[in-house]
């Protein structure tokens, strides 16, 4: 049974969908529903030992909201109890079954961050071999490869993922919430306009995807459904995340529609976490701000200054949840 769960976890992750508890109950447990805890623990063991991954429960919106308010109280009391979402945390089993959990899981790598960094680097040798291995007659455009240990380009849609991360970064540095409006400077749609990401612009996917492109609005909607982002109309923040439709912000800037706000969704907390995104922002901002000849020490100082700047807006940054 545990092995079935491992397979289910791997295959579900393949489609980038979270694994719901009901699916587990239906497909794996069948007639022994009470064995959940046991089966899960054993599956985790296999996942960790063989693959260096583990299943982590995504936090429900209710928990995220609670956290937000406790943070505002300058409490800094991080509720890890409900299960960390990102790649790799060994929480004691009890934490995975907190009643307020969202009962959906994602698979996450628990390898040391240094190893993962290494795995993302492009390597000349790997790249050359990959090029050599490309099938004859392969269209250069379809099979882009980067020569990293883990082939990210094979598994993810990098272009659209880039947009997601930009949004996550914008939301974070705007104080964890950003309005969905073109009117005010610095709000999401206004920035998007500058990036040529108006609602009807297209987000392109490579040949592995069955859609060639989606409009920006549709894509944002998809991200919200997948749990990466959370869209709520102003005033509805408490009700566990009302997922209203994302309005089509008209180019002319009509006032109907843009009364919503964007926040991070549970899946973003699970996959990357605030610290991760903050570091990402700080790193490239620092890189841009530094003089070309700047030494490592100066770069490091800039990095820290950037991080401080971010924290000035957000307060303490949480780790992967």
Partner 1 sequence: MASADDVQRLFLQALVSRRVVTKSLARILLKKCVEAVKAAKEDLDIRIPDNDDSVNTFVINLNASLDKLDLEIVPFVDGLTGNQVYVLANRKGDEVAQVASDYSPAELAYFKVLAEMIITAPNSSYCLSSMAALRETQSLKATFTKTHGERVLDTFVARGWLYKSKSGRYSLTTRSTVELQTYITNTFPNDILHCTVCHEMVFRGIRCYTRNCEGVLHNHCYAAYKRARQTCPVCDTPWNGDSEGKLKKVGEGAFVEGQDKHARARRRVDDEDEDEDETPKQEEAPSRLRHRRRGRGKLRPKGR
Tell me the closest approach of the beta carbon of residue 299 to partner 1, in angstroms: 20
Q: How far apart are CA 287 and CA 303, in angstroms?
A: 8
Site string for partner 1, 228-267 (x = CB under 8 A): ----------------------------------------
Helix, strand, or coil here: 90? coil
Q: Which among 44-52, 97-105, 168-176, 299-307 is the span making contact with partner 1, rule CB under 8 A?
A: 44-52
Q: Does 140 bind partner 1 (CB under 8 A)?
A: no
Q: How far apart are CA 48 and CA 54, in angstroms?
A: 6
Q: Does 62 bind partner 1 (CB under 8 A)?
A: no
Q: Does 27 bind partner 1 (CB under 8 A)?
A: yes
Q: How far apart are CA 231 and CA 65, in angstroms?
A: 13
Q: How far apart are CA 109 and CA 229, in angstroms?
A: 21
Q: How far apart are CA 303 and CA 284, in angstroms?
A: 9
**What angle is formed at CA 296 by the lines to CA 293 and CA 300, rounded to 5 degrees?**
120
Size of the site for partner 1 (CB under 8 A): 53
Phi, psi for residue 242 in degrees, rounded to 5? -80, 120
Q: Which among 132-140, 219-227, 279-287, 307-315 is the span making contact with partner 1, rule CB under 8 A?
A: 132-140
How many beta carbons lie within 10 A of that of residue 54, not counting itself? Answer: 24
Q: Does 149 bind partner 1 (CB under 8 A)?
A: yes
Tell me the closest approach of the beta carbon of residue 219 to partner 1, in angstroms: 16
Q: Does 167 bind partner 1 (CB under 8 A)?
A: no
- Helix (H) or strand (E) holding 5, with range, is helix 2-14
Secondary structure (DSSP) of 67-84: HHHHHHTT-----GGG--
Q: Does 202 bind partner 1 (CB under 8 A)?
A: no
Residue whose CB is less far from partner 1, 21 or 27: 27
Q: Does 31 bind partner 1 (CB under 8 A)?
A: no
Sites of contact with partner 1 (CB under 8 A): 3-4, 6-8, 10-12, 14-17, 23, 27-28, 46, 49-53, 109, 111-112, 114-115, 118-119, 123, 125-126, 129-130, 132-133, 135-137, 142-143, 149-152, 154-155, 206-212
């Amino acid at each position: 049974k545990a092995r079935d769960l491992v397979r289910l976890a791997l295959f579900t992750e393949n489609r980038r969908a979270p694994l719901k508890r009901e699916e587990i109950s239906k497909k794996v447990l069948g007639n022994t529903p009470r064995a959940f805890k046991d089966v899960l623990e054993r599956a985790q063991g296999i996942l960790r030992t063989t693959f260096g991954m583990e299943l982590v429960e995504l936090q429900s919106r209710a928990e995220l909201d609670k956290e937000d308010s406790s943070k505002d109280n300058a409490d800094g009391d991080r509720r890890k109890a409900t299960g960390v979402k990102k790649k790799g945390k060994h929480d004691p089993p009890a934490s995975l079954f907190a009643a307020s959990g969202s009962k959906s899981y994602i698979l996450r790598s628990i390898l040391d961050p240094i190893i993962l960094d290494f795995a993302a680097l492009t390597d000349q040798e790997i790249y050359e071999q990959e090029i050599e291995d490309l099938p004859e007659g392969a269209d250069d455009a379809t099979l882009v490869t980067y020569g990293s240990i883990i082939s990210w380009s094979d598994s993810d849609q990098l272009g659209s993922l880039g947009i997601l991360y930009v949004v996550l970064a914008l939301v974070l540095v705007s104080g964890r919430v950003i309005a969905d409006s073109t009117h005010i400077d610095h709000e999401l749609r206004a920035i998007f306009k500058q990036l040529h990401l108006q609602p009807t612009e297209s987000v392109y996917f490579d040949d592995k995807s069955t859609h060639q492109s989606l409009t920006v609005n549709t894509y944002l909607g998809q991200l919200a459904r997948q749990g990466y982002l959370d869209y709520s109309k102003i005033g509805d923040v408490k009700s566990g995340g009302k997922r209203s439709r994302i309005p089509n912000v008209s180019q002319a800037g009509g006032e109907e529609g843009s009364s919503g706000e964007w926040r991070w969704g549970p899946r973003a907390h699970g996959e990357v976490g605030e610290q991760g995104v903050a570091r990402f922002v700080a790193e490239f901002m620092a890189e841009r701000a530094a003089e070309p000849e700047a030494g490592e020490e100066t770069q490091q100082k800039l990095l820290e200054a950037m991080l401080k700047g971010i924290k000035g807006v957000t307060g303490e940054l949480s780790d992967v949840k």
